[in-house]
Amino acid sequence: MLGLDIVLVWMTYFMAQLISANFQWVSVRWAHLPQRAGLLTLSYLIAFFIHKSYVGVVRLSGSKDFQRLFLSTLTALVLIIPAAYLLTLYQFSRVTLLVQSMLFLITSVGGRLAVRSLFLSLQLRKSSKGSGILIVGAGSMGRAAANAIKQESRQIETIIGFIDDNKSKTGKSVNGIPILTLEKALQKDFIEKNNLGKLVIAIKNIPASRLKEISNMAIELGLQVKRVPPISNWVNGELTAKQIRPISLEELLGRDPIQLSYETLNGFIKGKTVLVTGAAGSIGSELVRQVMKQDPKLLIALDQAETPTYQLDQEIRTYPNYSHFKTIIADVTDEYRMAYVFDQFGPQVVFHAAAYKHVPLMEENPGEALKTNIHGTRIAAKLAYESKVESFVMVSTDKAVNPTNIMGASKRAAEHVVSYYNRQPGNQTRFVTTRFGNVLGSNGSVIPLFKKQMEEGGPLTVTHRDITRYFMTIPEAVRLVLEAGHMGQGGELYVFDMGNPVKIYDLALNVIRLSGLEPGRDIQIIETGLRPGEKLFEELLADGETTKATHHPKIFIANAQNLSIEQIEGMIDDSNEDSTKWLNHIKEYQPDI
């Protein structure tokens, strides 16, 4: 490239001489032409070495390469023009030098563009199926994605076009790549003609609903969908092709994640002793992570499962404030062990996430569900009440609404227990409950199950084609729990605005398509029938319950119907630990179970 650019310098200088002489051969200043050409060549060589204009791969030339050529030309002019003034003997023409610089810039850039265009054209003809790429977003992030993909020389892929909703951009081009409308780009004929296989979303703040719409359209047309990570995650401020990741199933829910302020929460947690029960579970472990970031005096992670608790401890060891962390192996139904924990550490804030949650298992083992979910909650809440804990937050579930299974009924009973202690005379603890739907990615949830079934080659199983569920991510769920503990004054039952429910069957379709496979052809989806106690549709409010607003537009307080003090006292009598009696109490207030 260095040699070719030097040849271009000679050729354009000779052409500039002819232009200056109005193409009159006899008028060209032939005297000292070799000396002038030699000095010009030296000036350009110095400029080329300074700006490294020759290091780019021609077929992948882009804006940075063209910028280097411009700076090299400018530097060469700065070097040669003083020589033109000083060496009058060589009869330099400053006009000729300016014309030469413009000609060189035009031919060098144009030549690189021509080579790139020819290479891409040949590459597109010879490339494998699905090598064409569309980039959603023609802004700075989209251009960065295009450059990153082109610089990845090992990839035999071609950027066919940008997609942008801005009508003032459509019809134009970026570095020779056309800007298209979504409607034109996602046409079956256009996809087949251009050998399209991927769609990369490169928009900084794209609404979740728009992200879902574009992704679903692309997935249904057989395109792989990827997304550019936030700029804050780029390595040294630059994007690489390897950082462009496949879109996640969570992003296809079409719901903007609920954002909460950690500045206010920091005062709620900072410098306090915090107890998390069920700390090794999906919600509990994320609670531990987020609480540790808020500088507690001490965080006690309590769980009965040894291995996951050990794994959590190994993870938290990497935190700078690990010395403020302690693990406790204990069962929440063991009142003596729990009393020791409260007496020994004196927690000021308690997050009660310990519970059994799998509906079919609890239908087969109702006594264990009742003992852990109700009796365990009673023990934790009673100790919090007696210890004058500042705040007690229980994690509940939408399955507690009009429950049709043992797990849901036991969690509804646990809600009554928490409400009972909040209403005790002289109570100084703020008892609150959070109720939300299914958590994506939690242990035993449908997404890990689908992924495991995909690894095994299918089929994917759904209990019913029309079954729907509300979904949220684990970080969102934990933010709700933290916010509830912060804002709750005592007695509230917080619920989410979780958007629209999602069909489990649609989730299964997307899991298959995101893997680049075709549902029904490559992977089958089969219905297994509703399990005992399983609902077709989940609810966030029970019959007769209403909500009232809070300071956050996505969080509401349910006006829950509480049992009387006398009714609950019968349920939580210390001697009433026998599973049969527990079940009779639940059936008394939930006759459909």
Structure tokens at 524: 């089958």
Cβ-proximal residues to 57 (8 Å cutoff; 6+ apart), any chain: 153
Selection from 319, 301, 317 nearest residue 309 by Cα: 301
Pairing status of strand 493-496 against strand 430-436: parallel
Q: What are phi and psi of 179, to 5 degrees?
A: -100, 120
The DSSP bridge partners found for residue 494 are 434, 557
Q: DSSP characters for 246-275?
A: EPPTGGGG--PPP---HHHHHHHHTT-EEE
- Cα separation, 100 vs 166, in Å, equals 39
Cβ-proximal residues to 447 (8 Å cutoff; 6+ apart), any chain: 249, 440, 441, 507, 511
- Cα separation, 447 vs 455, in Å, equals 12
21 in Cβ contact with 96 (< 8 Å):
no
Candidates 198, 357, 399, 411; catalytic one: 399
346: left (phi over 0), alpha (psi -120 to 50) or beta: left
Mark whether 399 is an active-site residue.
Answer: yes
Query: Chain-centre distance of CA 290, in angstroms?
Result: 17
Query: Chain-centre distance of CA 365, in angstroms?
Result: 37
436 in Cβ contact with 353 (< 8 Å):
no
Q: DSSP characters for 195-232?
A: TEEEEEE--TT--HHHHHHHHHHHHHTT-EEEEPPPGG
Q: Which amino acid is at 531?
A: R
Could you give the residue numbers annotated as active site? 399
